[in-house]
Every structure is written in structure tokens, then in C-alpha cells.
Chain A
């Protein structure tokens, strides 16, 4: 058995390490995926006003700050029994949607593509693996040009969001009660101009590039298949009565099932925490214990019905019925394209529903006490915030981010996490250039900033509980 260690895995947000063992035929026999950063976010939220959490939790991840603000705001609103008006929901959709478009373009072109082509021959694009590059010189040049033009498109998606959010990363105004922008007719037109540009990039350039990738690497429909279990919390309100563009649900053996929050638990036998394992997110605790025997990561293992589930665009489009081909590296790329294509055209519809000058914000104030969850989706998958308030202050806060689902370690029963499972069985052609492993890991779009998970129980001495943070 030989070992391959990739530390750091670059081209993702944060600090991720992958280690695999190969059998005599160079197939992956076992794999561990580890988050190497702990930030202790949940502790810093304690004893703060609930409204502050939308600002602080955005700082978990500069790549997808918006879903954190939305999840946090939803949790506060749920305690208050409040739902934003249509203007507020549409503004959130447009800002969150823009964040999805930015993240999706960045993922395909800037985080993944260099696993399949050689980029410009200057740093930071030199020094990558040269194993299994299949595109001819012309196609490579085309894709490299698109890598560079996509830098402009992802930037424009951020600019588009900032029209209503003030700025990105870290939106200024997504708060409990809605969104405080008062969009003028000029701003709506400005947003639409950006949206049209991005939409045409997606329907022309991105579509043809992802298809080119899928045909050159069609064998990757059989690589990185993993468990095949998919999970989504649902996202993008289409009206004020709770209908979602991408509904919540699960997929097991290709079959869509209902989602119930009550089925979530988190395990930490292999994580650097000494706190009890197997708790529901609203009642778990987290005590940091770096170097704990047998542990290898700062990420915990969230499980649904005690089973590993994969989160992300593929889960969303499978449940919504927009794409149901398979679960693999290439299906993840295709699903992301299918989703962005649907999203960008729905954003046109949501933009039509804005009323110039109307408020999408109600001043609801802080809740005095209560508990609730705020569930939504980040580009890379299901995100949940669990909030408890007493005496108008946060008494407990816990977050499960998408990368916690995907890049989790083994659970207490020994089931590897979804990325680990997807790596196992992979044939590595050249162990000195294990590009297959990178392609699999990158197809999940991991973000360890987002692998925060933290909490502290009511009535327990805070200093004993370290929340867990991120493992980037």
C-alpha cells in the first residue's frame, strides 16, 4: 500500500487536506479528508443581540456570505413569527441568486478547469499536474481565454448583487425583517443589464465549455460516484406562501423523498472534539480537543437518518426534477450548469416583481426568547443555523454548512464522509500526479470556511465549550 497526501488542496476556500492509500493496482483503498482550520464562530455569537448574527456569520465565508446572512435572518424571523413581504423575498432571491452565479462561474472556471487544461504559462497557473490533459491546443486556448473572461463575469455578478446589497463580499443589509434597499427604477434597469450579460455568458460560453468538458471526459460520469444519497433544504421563495424554486428533499437510489429536519444528527468520533457525539444540532455541544486519539479533522459528521448524504447543486436539481442523470464528477458539473441556467432566467422574473421605491424591510426588533432554525442553501449545498435566544441575547447558536455534509470524516459507525466515499475505488494512473483525486474533490466545490460548526449549550460554563469552527 502506498499513500498519497495532498496538503493543501488548493483552489478552494480554506484549508483542506486529503490523504489516500492505494492498493497494489493503484486504486484508492481508503481516504481521509480533513479541515485544517478551527475558528470557534459559535462562541463569539453568544451574548450578542440576535440581529448581529447575520453580520458575523457572513464572515464565516467570503465565497458565499449571502446564504449565511439569509439563514441567520430566517432563524430570527421564525422566532418572531415573521415572514418578509414579497419585495423583501425577491430582493433576497436576487442577491442570493447573484452570489450563486458568481460562485458557480468561479467554481467551474477558476477552481476546477485547471484540473483539465494547462492555464497561462506564468504563475500562479504553472506547476499543476500535466497528467491526462485531453484537449488539443486550440480548445485549450479557447478554455484559457474563457478562464480570463469568466474573471470578469464573476466580478459582474458581485457588482450586480451590490446594487441591492451595498457590497459583496459581506452584504451590508440582509437582516432580520428583510432587505433594507429601496430599489429605484434606475437600479432595477442597471441590475437587468448585468443580468442579461451574465445570462448570455451562461447560455453561450459556459454551456459550450461544460459540454466540451463532458464529452472529452465522459468517463468521469463513472468517477467519484460516492453514495448517491442527496440532500437539500430548498431555496428561493417564489411567493409569500413558502413555494420554493428548488424544493427541499432527499434522493436515495435516484428516488426523491421528503426532508425532515428532525432526522439530522452530528457525530464527532473522528473530529477534534471531546463533546458527546450523535446529538441533534439544536442540542449538541462542541469542546475542542486537538490531537484527540483517532481524530483527524476539525469537521464534524452531520448525518441524515444516520446516513451520509451529499449536498450541492446536484441535490437541488435532482429533487426539483431539472436533472436526473447520475451522481459523479461530471454530473456535479452538469448539474451546476443546469441550475445556473434555470436560476438566471428566474432572476429575470423576480426582477419584474420588484416595485420601484418600495420597502422590503420591516423593523421587527430582536426576539426576547425562543428557539428556531434557519434553513437555506449555499451554492455548495444545504446550510442550517440553529438559534436560541434568552433575555434578548443569543444563548446558543449552531451552524451546519454544506462542506460539513460533503467533506465530513467517518461517522461513529465508520461510514466515510461523502467526499471520502467518492474517492474510494478511484483508479490513479500516476501516483506522482494524482489529478483524479483533485477532480473528484473539486467537483464537490468544498469550502472549509464554511465547515464551521459551533455551539454552546444553555446554562453551561462557556469557557468549557469551544465552538467549532471552521475547518477550512
Chain B
């Protein structure tokens, strides 16, 4: 018998729950993403594509070629898709209509609002320019789940840094009261790849995860960087570039919730403090502060 991907996933979840096992991603490898499964639509607003690139770098729970071929059906992603121009914008519209109420909408970047809506136009539909602002309002209410990928989409981030002349707003504020489920904020500049991909799989498998007061999944945003930092017991140093704790030079680790010390970055090859620079607090609603951190100037 051939089962489709969604049935397989449901079966996997049930089996895992029954057996109290960790999810075995290897098993998921055997199933192809069926065209009938709940797809992902990924829109880029006022951002740098860093969250897209970070997602391409995923290794845990699995790598991107596996994700795209076997785990999720990516219906619109301007970075990767073959179609261009009108056929791309039609693919977006068709996917949203065909999967109305079913799809996951991922939004990367903040959304220029107010008088500045035209500061971000994502393409033309039927000859009419579609602003990011209108696209989010158009497709957000049709989505089953809405995910804000990265700190710009979640909190404004660099896109909305003072003086924010482009009037950037967040996904959550724009879609307040308009979505089927709460917007999930995956903070990070960029979003950590594991947080991104595992959350998409969690949504498909089990639904909206438990969220903190900033709508971040508590699974990843439950501890400060500082509370599990391997440098907690080391001597405080007075400048970056020396091995030690950076508390006295403004490290944001003590106030910043993030999974960095455990998940690390890029297949665990590094993370900020491991490279001898303080945490700059990139998962925080306040990021980027002025100054970004209060390192002593040294002169």
C-alpha cells in the first residue's frame, strides 16, 4: 500500500506518542512530499534573505534537500522557485486558493506600512503591483498557520530600527485578530535553521507549539543565553577577542532568551560567544539597541 505523506506523518506522531519515543526522522525520509499535502508559501518583505539562507543551511532535524523533496511542499519561494514573473505570482495565488485554510504562510522581513507601503512591492498580479503589506493582508487570513521568520518579521528588527522611515510593522501587529491560529514568532537575526525547520514540521505534525508572551515557541525560547553559557564560570574580560565572560562589556546573554548555547549555528560549528564576541541580543524584541552593545571603547 502506498500512503501519502500526511497520513504517514499522522501515523508517525501517533506511534511516537504511544511509544513515548523521540521522533525518528529517518523514517520520515522514506516518504515523498505529495502535492496534496499542506504546503508552505514563503514571502519576503523588508528583509535581507538571511532567514532564507539560514534555512538552506539546516542540518538538524534534517538537511534542506530532504526538507524540500520529502518533508514540505514549497509552493512559493522567490529565492528558489523555477517560475518567474506572472507565472510565479499565479503560483502564489493558485496555491493560496487551492489550499485555502490549509497552508503555512512564512513571512520573512518586516512589512513597510503607512505611507510607505510602496517601499516593498513583491510582484505584479494581473498587471497590478502587489505590496508586501497587501500581500500579507490578502494571504494571512487564508493560512492555517502564520510563521514570522526572524527578528524583522517578529519584532521589526533591523528593518524597523530608528528612525524607521519606512514605517515597518510586524506580522503579528498587521494580522492581529485576522488569523486562524496565533502567529508564531521565530526570533533570530537570522532565524536559527533548526528552530525554523523543526517548527514547520511541528506545525504539520502537531499544531501550534506552546508560545511565550512574545509568541516565541517556549521549546526554544525558555532560557537566557547566559543561564547555559559555557563561559559562566570563566573570568570576566574587558574586551572582545579574549577568552572569558563578556558581562562587563555589555553581553546581552543575561537578558536574552535564545537556544544558541545548545543548538549553536551552522551544524554546530560555532556561535557568537564561541567566536569571542558578546551576544548582541538578536532574538530580543529590542534588537538592535543603540549602541548594539556597550563595549567599552578602549580609547
A128 and B65 form a contact (CB under 8 A): no
The answer for the CA separation of A125 and B77 in the assembled complex, in Å, is 10
Q: Which residue of A lies closest to B239 (CB)?
A: A363
Interface: B44 (CB within 8 A): yes
Total A-B contacts with CB atoms under 8 angstroms apart:
283
Interface string of A251-290 (1 = CB under 8 A from B): 0000000000000000000000000000000000000101
Interface: A11 (CB within 8 A): yes
B270 and A363 form a contact (CB under 8 A): no
> How big is chain A's contact interface, by range?
35 or more
Main secondary structure of the interface of B (DSSP, over half): loop
Q: Which residue of B lies closest to A147 (CB)?
A: B65
Interface: A61 (CB within 8 A): yes
Minimum Cβ distance to chain A for residue B256 (Å):
14
Interface: A369 (CB within 8 A): no
Contact status of A62 and B65, CB under 8 A, knowing A52-B292, A127-B87? no
Residues of A454-472 whose CB lies within 8 A of B: 462-463, 466-467, 469, 472
Which of A148, A368, A467, A472 lies at the interface centre, i.e. has the most chain B CB atoms within 10 A of its CB? A472
Q: Which residue of A lies closest to B54 (CB)?
A: A169
B49 and A61 form a contact (CB under 8 A): yes
Contacts of A125 in B (CB 8 A): 80-82
Q: Which residue of B lies closest to A57 (CB)?
A: B158
Binds B, one of A152-160, A331-339, A343-351, A422-430: A152-160
The answer for the CA separation of A162 and B193 in the assembled complex, in Å, is 14
Minimum Cβ distance to chain A for residue B159 (Å):
6
A65 and B276 form a contact (CB under 8 A): no
Contacts of B46 in A (CB 8 A): 37, 39
Residues of A113-147 whose CB lies within 8 A of B: 114, 118-120, 122-129
Contact status of A61 and B241, CB under 8 A, knowing A44-B158, A166-B270, A364-B298? no
Interface: A411 (CB within 8 A): no
Our pick among B82, B119, B189, B277 for the contact of A126 (Cβ within 8 Å) is: B82
17 A-B contacts, Cβ less than 8 Å apart? Answer: A7-B85, A7-B89, A7-B124, A10-B81, A15-B123, A38-B112, A43-B163, A52-B292, A62-B49, A127-B91, A155-B267, A165-B270, A166-B271, A167-B272, A173-B241, A180-B240, A469-B166
Q: Which A residues form the contact surface with B (CB < 8 A)?
A: 5-15, 17, 36-40, 43-44, 47-49, 51-52, 55-56, 59-63, 65, 106, 110, 114, 118-120, 122-129, 148, 151-152, 154-155, 158-170, 172-173, 175, 177-178, 180-182, 190, 288, 290-291, 298, 359, 361, 363-366, 368, 392, 438, 449, 462-463, 466-467, 469, 472
